[in-house]
Amino acid sequence: MVRFQLLALATITAVAAAHVPTFAAAQSERLIPLVDGRTCWTPTSNRCFRYDESRRTATRSGFGNVRVSSRIEVKPGFITESGFVAIERAISKQTGGHIYGR
C-alpha cells in the first residue's frame, strides 16, 4: 500500500514537473550574429549598424560611436533581439557627427 502511494506521488510529481515551462523557454529570443562590419536585424533588413570588433563599437552614418559591452553578448558573437534594440537606441540618442580630439 505504501509503495503504491509513493509510486503515485512520484508519478504525479514527474507529470507536473514536465508541464512547467522552463526559464530558458520563457526567456528565449532569437539570436542575431554580431558581425564585424555590418550587423543587421535579418539578412535582408535595412535595420543595420556598423560593428567594429577590435574596438567593440557600433555606429551608423552621421552618428557617433557607441561602446558595445561584452555583457550584451549571450554567447560569443551573438546578441539577442533586445540587445540589438538597445544598441540601436544608444546610437539614435547620439547628437550626430564624429567628435575629433577625444
Above 70 in pLDDT, residue 4? no
Q: Where are the alpha helices (DSSP H) in 1-102?
A: 2-19, 23-26, 81-92
pLDDT at 93 over 50: yes
> What is the pLDDT, as a whole number, of residue 29?
85
Q: According to the model, what pLDDT value does residue 33 have?
A: 94
| Cβ within 8 Å of residue 69, ≥6 positions away | 56
What is residue 64's predicted lDDT score, i.e. its pLDDT?
87
| pLDDT tens figures, 30-47 | 999 999 999 999 999 999
Under 8 Å between Cβ of 52 and 33: no
Can you give the pLDDT at residue 26?
45
Distance CA 37, CA 75 (A): 19
Cα–Cα distance measured from residue 81 to residue 69, given in angstroms and rounded to the nearest whole number? 15
Each residue of 8-31: pLDDT tens digit? 555 555 544 554 444 454 467 899
d(CA 78, CA 39): 10
Span 48-88, pLDDT tens digits: 999 999 999 999 988 889 999 989 999 999 999 999 999 99
